[in-house]
Chain A
Amino acid sequence: MSGERRPGDPRAEQLRARFHGIFGPRDLPVPVDAIATDLLGLLVADVDGLPVSGALLPHERRVLLNAAESRESPGRRRFTLAHEIGHWVCQCDEGRAASPQIFCRAADVETNEGRDLEREANIFAAELLMPEPLVRREAARGRGRAQLAALFAVSEPAMAWRLFNLGLGARPEEG
């Protein structure tokens, strides 16, 4: 990750607003599975033996998640799902893009374009799962990083980066 703070992505906020407008308001944590399934019409499946954390198959409107990781860390699963939703919204235009330009996989990550797309999806995921106003509100109530991570159902490292990017915490150790 770069050392610079990142802005959020308004498309994530718009997506949450669309979901709440149709299916009604929900308490935290952000209902990322319902956003994928009920709003976007994606099928989400946890798959044993998947050699990656997550994969989006646009032509099938299907997200595959690494089942072992899901069992190990539900928070990481949510972030991976939000990341794939980011690809679906930002690069696939929710399926309206006739041909997504990027075939993003390990071999492509070294290209600037691949890195940019992964970064965009990560920013989207953070904004989707950890909405800035709610994080600020809960942080102002004196909740610590671990409490915030539990409240938003994300991993502590993900929350640490979010707090840093919102200017609410120190830069996490990379590792």
Chain B
Amino acid sequence: MAERAADLFAQYRAAFERGEHPDPRPYLERAGDEEDDLRTMIDAFLVRADVPSPSPEMVAVFEAWLRNEPPLLELRRQRRRTRDEVVDALVGTLGIDRAKRAKVAEYYHRLEAGLLDLRRIDERVFSALADALGRHPTGPTVARLRPAGASAYFRSVEPGTPAGALPPLPEVTPEAERDEVDELFTGRSP
């Protein structure tokens, strides 16, 4: 009996039966040399499994996407987690130096706002988010959004201030100073 595969299959099945539509790939990656065993188990299960009704939480997340709201934001609100709590969890789970917390916060904002290329995000980030939010954030929960318009609203100090003088937003990290945080959020080959 492939114990590792069986254990991972039990986790996958439990997530499926909770209505989470789990992505099998992370489970397969963790199976090591029992990957084929696990793939067979999952295939056999999916052939006969009833598709579960989505949970009210997932309905709310999908509805958020339909409204062009960030689904990950809706999931975080459903879980009643503050952004600081999620960022702290990412820093802790990913073993990132606390001194780099602000950078993680910036990247988490971009992820939550649908501004990152999901294909470049390291799977460890999604796993850490799953720990923080209780759901693996794949599919509709991290779908990209339509842009919310390219205008800007200003509150001026002095009438007549030239609004065009706003400084451009910097990249999170200059190319020469990229570190493991940049690699986690933007480093994977698409």
Contact = CB atoms under 8 A, between A and B. Distances in A.
Interface residues of B, number: 40
A27 interface: no
B155 A55 contact: yes
Interface string A92-121: 101111111011111101000000011001
A39 B73 CA distance: 8
A56 B154 CA distance: 6
Interface footprint category on A: 35 or more
A34 B84 CA distance: 10
Interface string A40-62: 01010001011111111111111
A78 interface: no
Given A51-B162, A94-B69, A96-B67, A102 B154 contact: no
Chain A interface secondary structure, helix, strand, loop or mixed? mixed
Given A59-B149, A83-B155, A51 B115 contact: no
B109 interface: yes
Given A41-B70, A96-B67, A53 B156 contact: yes
B82 A56 contact: no
Given A41-B73, A43-B109, A95-B68, A104 B148 contact: no
B152 A58 contact: yes
Contacts of A98: 68, 146, 148-149
11 contacts: A51-B162, A52-B154, A52-B156, A61-B70, A92-B149, A98-B149, A100-B153, A104-B154, A105-B163, A106-B162, A109-B156
